[in-house]
Copies of this chain bind each other. A is one copy, B any other.
Amino acid sequence: MDLDLIRELVVKNDSKIVLLVIDGLGGLPTEETGRTELEAANTRHLDRLAADGICGLTVPVGPGITPGSGPGHLALFGYDPIKYQVGRGVLEALGIDFDLRHGDVAARGNFCTVDKDGLVTDRRAGRISTETSAALCRDLRGITLPSVDLFVEPVREHRFLLVLRGDALAEGVSDTDPQRLGVPPLPAEPERPEAKETVRLVNEFVGQARERLDGKHPANMLLLRGLSKWPQLPQMAEVFGLRAAAIAVYPMYRGLAKLVGMTVLPTGARPEDQVATLKENWDKFDFFFVHYKTTDSRGEDGNFDAKVAALEEVDTIVPAIRGLGPDVFMVGGDHSTPALLAGHSWHPVPFVLYSRWCRRDRAEMFDENQCALGGLGVFPATAALPLALANARRLTKFGA
């Protein structure tokens, strides 16, 4: 969807839009029952919403493409995830709630193992514990570089975050991770002329790190990927005319919401805490992004029954949200996470939109098969936000 077109048509009014993202929502049927997680779950409130609303299946990025959390959410926020790509370094920073600032360069780091000739023998340093990693990070903070501040934060196991903060840092620094074994780490290279000085600093950091890590086998070296700056995404207030707020527990989703200009509201961790936050802030915003994570986590665990239970949990907050009387209430997912695959997948994701003007379809249950037959069909996830604006009567006529 062309954001320039939407921007031209947007008008403001007093309507309220709620987007409930059930992370990793879509699933796959088990062989025994032929039922997906959603089909197995007793989600009577979501089913009622599907019966009252219009349903479909969203394609997050493109046919066959399995999205990460970043692209999956940006699409639901109305942004083409191929056009607006967010670097891995930035996503890593968002994921640990690091206070990344405009101008910072962030990198995803791996501790790795090199042999006596400096050749990589394990890109993940035997998946050292997060505690070991944290101690190494503390040591690396002792590195000094001219005219930049430096942050090294543990993430999980062998993964860490490196952030350089300075006045003249540039994107366009290549990865040092060779992505294979038996070769030395790559020197960072400038992918654009203006990145030369940043490359020099990154290589200086890596050089000093090599000395500090020497003898710390298996974590005796490090690799950097996805060096990137806070991306300049069009902001939701400017493009969609929405005062948007995020009610999310996990850092990654709060961070993604910040990228598009949402106000991140402090909230408790339970779904009912999130609903309370929604109620308290109902008058202050036009658009609310409510994020529920457990479905994805249990899907990633490969635990079908636990994912079913998570679906039943998130189902319980649906009546309270409907009770607030949103003009538009959408429920969808950033991607599928079938328990059978124990990971994200490419399968289109169930979606329902309810509004007074939605044109109810024949779908009576909120699941993959009924949504496939819904009035929205199989459609790009980027269409959800324009549809919400239309149903909220926030888009004027195009052309005379």
Q: List residues of A whose CB falls within 8 A of some B CB.
A: 1-2, 5, 9, 28-29, 34, 36, 56-57, 61-72, 81-82, 85-86, 88, 91-92, 108, 226, 338, 340-341, 344-348, 357, 359-362, 368-369, 372-380, 383, 386-391, 395-400
Contact = CB atoms under 8 A, between A and B. Distances in A.
Given A64-B388, A341-B357, 14 more contacts: A5-B62, A5-B82, A29-B360, A61-B398, A62-B386, A64-B387, A65-B386, A66-B397, A66-B398, A72-B399, A347-B359, A348-B375, A359-B368, A373-B373
A138 B379 CA distance: 52
Contacts of A375: 57, 348, 368-369, 372, 378
A308 to B, nearest CB: 17
9 contacts: A2-B82, A57-B375, A62-B383, A63-B380, A63-B386, A81-B399, A85-B399, A361-B369, A375-B378
A385 to B, nearest CB: 8
Given A345-B357, A386-B62, A387-B64, A372 B374 contact: yes
A62 B397 contact: no
A344 B400 CA distance: 11
A67 B397 contact: yes
Interface of A is mostly: loop
A387 B226 CA distance: 27
A69 B62 CA distance: 25
A314 B378 CA distance: 30
Quick one: which of A82, A85, A91 has the most chain B CB within 10 A?
A: A82
